[in-house]
Amino acid sequence: MIRFRQIEAFRCLMSCGTTVAAARRMHITQPAISRLIADLEEDLGFRLFNRTKGRMEPTTAAIRFQRAVEENFLGLERLRQAAETIRTDENEGLAIACMPVLSTSLLPHILKEFFKLRPDVPVKIDTVGNAEVMVKLQDLKVDVAISLTIPAIAGIEVEPLLEAPALCAMRADHPLAAREVITPQDLAEETVIGWMPNYPLSQNQEDKYFGHAGVYPHYTIRTHTSHTRYAMVAHGFGVSIVEPFASELWQYQGVITRPFVTESRHSYVLAYPSSGSRSAILQDFRRATLRVVNDKTLLPWAIPLTQE
């Protein structure tokens, strides 16, 4: 019967190249490494290494077996990481992954509601981009995430949360500030703070906002974060299409927003690891989130997609 320790020894030996280095990495003796490998070969029924002049050279079978090991070992590593997290946490808490713009706007309101329900629960906030959000969820590093809509992917469950309108951000002294709404045609001659090409979840933004109107603005700066677009606008580098969450924060820096005429909306979700049942703490966080999303005094522009 193959044991985990045997596979661990095999991986170390394949990556280190010598039994001495593998033993050092595993904090065991060199004979112990040799014994684990010999036992593994016996259990497998084929030779993994040729012993020549005191060295262990991997066979073709070892190379093939290594591919299978690496494909399956990641799942075991995730289990070990999850166990380590559980073991080191003195109190049951809540780990949240959140986009930067949401962590400084939406999340504080949610946590106010959450702490009414769970005043003593410790909370960890991991502020990351959407691509990193998916990795955190798959690796069981967080319990829940608030993010832009993410594609269907193994290991993640998604719950639609809300839709938000697109806004056009500009300095208060910009000529377009006199308009009540901004159309794509209004930006035909403007310098726009754009989006990073080929960045996950922000592809085709230009086509989405301008392509249907046949408008192709001039771009000097591109970025994938909303706060950076607001900051560039505040410093006079151009205008930008933005989400509404951070608009209140940036108005104190001289940035104003106007509705942008488009059928496209920003869609946000709650996302969870696909790990079965959800704790009572996580259920309370969801409840707090829905209270905020459905509160028109806090988010008058939001279109809730899930009722409390």
Q: What's the pLDDT tens digit per position in 92-142?
A: 689 999 999 999 999 999 999 999 999 989 999 999 988 889 888 888 889
Mean pLDDT across the chain:
87
Q: What share of the chain is helix, strand, coil (3-state, %, to 5)?
A: 45, 25, 30
**Residue 270's closest CA among 162, 118, 184, 121?**
162
Proportion of the chain above pLDDT 70, given as a percent:
90
Average the pLDDT over each of 73-77, 87-91, 138-142 and give the range with the smallest value. 87-91
Nearest-CA neighbor of 186 among 205, 209, 164, 220? Answer: 209
**C-beta of residue 103 within 8 angstroms of C-beta of residue 125:** yes
Identity of residue 217: P
pLDDT for residue 299: 93
pLDDT value of residue 225: 87
Query: What pLDDT is stored for residue 227 in this prediction?
Result: 93
More confident residue, 209 or 37: 37
pLDDT band at 200 (very low <50, low <70, confident <90, very high): very low
- The Cα–Cα gap between 212 and 40 comes to 62
Percentage of the residues of the chain whose pLDDT score is greater than 90: 56
Tokens of 103: 């962590």
Q: Minimal CA–CA distance to 238: which of 218, 261, 258? A: 218
Write out pLDDT tens, residues 19-36. Answer: 999 999 999 999 999 999
Give the span between the Cα atoms of 53 and 60, in whole angstroms: 19
What is this structure's pTM?
0.69
CB atoms within 10 A of CB 46: 11
Alpha helices in 141-279 (DSSP H): 205-210, 226-234, 247-250
Phi then psi for residue 147, to 5 deg, are -155, 175
Higher pLDDT among residues 254 and 72, named by residue: 254
Confidence of residue 88 (pLDDT cuts 50, 70, 90): low
Instruction: Specify the length of the chain in residues.
Output: 308
pLDDT digits (tens, 9 = 90+) for 232-287: 999 999 999 999 999 999 999 999 999 999 888 899 999 998 866 678 899 999 99
**Residue 209, burial from CB neighbour count under 10 angstroms (0-12, 13-18, 19+):** buried
